[in-house]
Structure 1
């Protein structure tokens, strides 16, 4: 029986010609030579070699060691390259030249596909924000007064954005000892919450201890990768989203809840977040998700004009996320439930005149839905540690050393196909001595 060609995909493969996500890989015989690859089923096309073979005008961009030169080239080039790739992979006339350039995915080492410029994390899920508010302000409003007027976010640390599969070292930091700590960790938000009551005159102020985080958490998120930059002092309208966003991928913004709860007042997330953020090795082009566009949830507070998308194309994305801990599914957060869209986040990010750079990453914040099995972090799934999860490998309130968290997702594509998103996996290892 003849061996199946890597160009002949099984019906319904989520990494078919309607997807074509980009990544960066090395082979075992050239471990220091990074190349741009395009995933096709269970194989990866050496895009630079294919472009050179076809004498493509984009051979230099596809022959780079990261996606940044291609991303900086702008939307017309992205579309032209995508059309070339689809032709090379599906046109029988190219089969003889392209087949030798296909590598089995399992034989490759995958690397961070972009050079990250800036990293911004938003707080765009009303369900997540409301749950956090109920946990930490049980007698107050679930949402802060500003939440439905703007997409709240914070600037993270680009240097600790890691490719999927990188080990996650449990971070050290200051935290309150159990006797002085609040009942639950602080919410995963830059939005301030009321400070704890001041100690009485006879009580001593709280004193922190230093050590490994005891409340390590994951956050299931979706990231948007900026391609074309924008100049300083040039706010982008909602319609600028397509011209500046190159692609979409999954992201896990790991959180040390106990470090965060002690440090975050009044300035927001810092060391409790900056130790590690895991990014998928594959970036799905924005055009591959055209069939997944969907209207966001109805809004009961009219947004200001620069955020008003009532007359715009549907700004949401129907991405079906699944979160597994040690191989056991614990949640299926629906990205379609996000209150603030990525286009609104980009408009808000630049409304003060901030510029964009190629390689900027802005993330959605924790994705959570309305149901108990749709919550995107352990903070919510265990209600701040009050209600442990019962898993086949034991109970969990927060992550233990040795735990592995994996995010996967798919989106509806044209003609009923599924568009697969590259997974994000992280394995928790003990704190450095």
Structure 2
């Protein structure tokens, strides 16, 4: 597991205006991404406060040395796949040298200041070319909440506590935060209808997830041992895996999600590295008495000691009525990543256990991360009990599911006494009406 070092020091200050105390990107974070300055081509950058440090320009100064320079060189070309493939060593070296250059009192300040761009004037892109996307189902409270709506006496299927459940999703429709989402059309069948119909989804929903970026891959046919799984994780983001519940209910048997999930997924554009998240690692929640122990290929002492993350996760809803009245967003959920039943390491190890070859830039989703009560539901189908109990908003509006013009905002923060809080940046998108 990643160790703590001087880059995590809560007393560190940066000469970059607005970086100290920034809610997401203080100097203790330094996430990686791809951005375009006004009129410029996509390039790699590091977020610091309300600015972005141009990595390509920084490399050209000669201030980066050794493995850090190797990492910055690999980050060229408008996608970070080659950097992710290098693994933790070069990534950690880049973080350490960037921290030195950006901290208060750095002698190189005057050379680096011109390489900063105001984030508000830049366009953010997907940070890597996503070859494959797999969505898991490791949020046990979400699985129980959904299961209770169909099987009140037996909400979890027999395999849930033995195997990290997942399915292969669609990588081509993943978009960065801020990209609108078009309401999908599809086939659905109302319970009292004699036959299915085709049209816009009437039960459009969000899903609060973490995204996991794969770094170094594995050869086809060669599993990743659970004890080495963390070496293959390059970082994290927020993920909203939108779901059309009415389409999903009709199509998902016997092969699982299809059109109900492949129309769009939204991610936050910054890769928050495992190094930045080191202060927020915790042991997974103890399994309830009577639950099966993970099979040996999913069990590792280090992973059980600190393989989980303590991250607050929030879902906010902005509706046309709230917007017009000047009212703040409605909080749908306040959850935490600690509510995952399986660790990310177990997800990676299981994914590759049959010989599947993961590749740099692949994206894994955790599945919806809900907490144990109604205030921590990571989807509307849970928060409204399948639409039976709508959310009542300060604007006088009600919501069972998402309507056109609604906007969902996901946020995540790491908070631990003695360490600087860090965040992920927003993952947001507004819903547009279906194509006629």
Query: Normalization by structure 2: what TM-score?
Result: 0.89
What's the counterpart of residue 55 of structure 2?
Answer: 47
Instruction: Give the 5 Å matches for 1:25-424.
Output: 25-30=35-40, 33-54=41-62, 56=64, 57-58=69-70, 59-90=72-103, 92-138=106-152, 140-177=153-190, 179-180=192-193, 206-299=194-287, 300-310=291-301, 312=303, 313-326=305-318, 327-393=329-395, 394-412=397-415, 415-424=418-427
1:428 partnered with 2:434: no
State the SS of the aligned residue for 1:405: strand
Give CA-to-partner distance per residue, 1:27-82, whole Å, 9 cap, x none: 2222xx00111110111111110121125333422333111111112221111111
Unaligned runs of 5+ in 2: 1-13, 319-328
CA distance in 2 between counterparts of 1:88 and 1:414 reads 26
Contact 1:238 1:309 in 2 (8 A): yes
Deviating more after overlay: 385-394 vs 361-370: 385-394
State the SS of the aligned residue for 1:272: coil
CA distance in 1 between counterparts of 2:339 and 2:361 reads 26
Contact 2:242 2:264 in 1 (8 A): yes
Deviating more after overlay: 235-244 vs 150-159: 235-244
Change (3 A) 1:422 1:11: closer
CA distance in 2 between counterparts of 1:416 and 1:315 reads 19
State the SS of the aligned residue for 1:402: coil
Unaligned runs of 5+ in 1: 181-205
Q: CA deviation at 1:6?
A: 2.7
Q: CA deviation at 1:328?
A: 1.6
CA distance in 2 between counterparts of 1:319 and 1:410 reads 5
Contact 2:180 2:430 in 1 (8 A): yes
Give CA-to-partner distance per residue, 1:360-411, whole Å, 9 cap, x none: 1111100000021011000100011111111123100000000000000101
Q: CA deviation at 1:137?
A: 1.2
Contact 2:22 2:49 in 1 (8 A): no
CA distance in 1 between counterparts of 2:298 and 2:379 reads 28
Give CA-to-partner distance per residue, 1:11-38, whole Å, 9 cap, x none: 46541221001111112222xx001111
Q: CA deviation at 1:431?
A: 0.3
State the SS of the aligned residue for 1:19: coil
Give CA-to-partner distance per residue, 1:153-173, whole Å, 9 cap, x none: 000001011111111000010
State the SS of the aligned residue for 1:416: coil
Change (3 A) 1:359 1:171: same
Change (3 A) 1:407 1:388: same
Query: Normalization by structure 1: what TM-score?
Result: 0.90
What's the counterpart of residue 183 of structure 1?
Answer: none
Aligned residues: 402
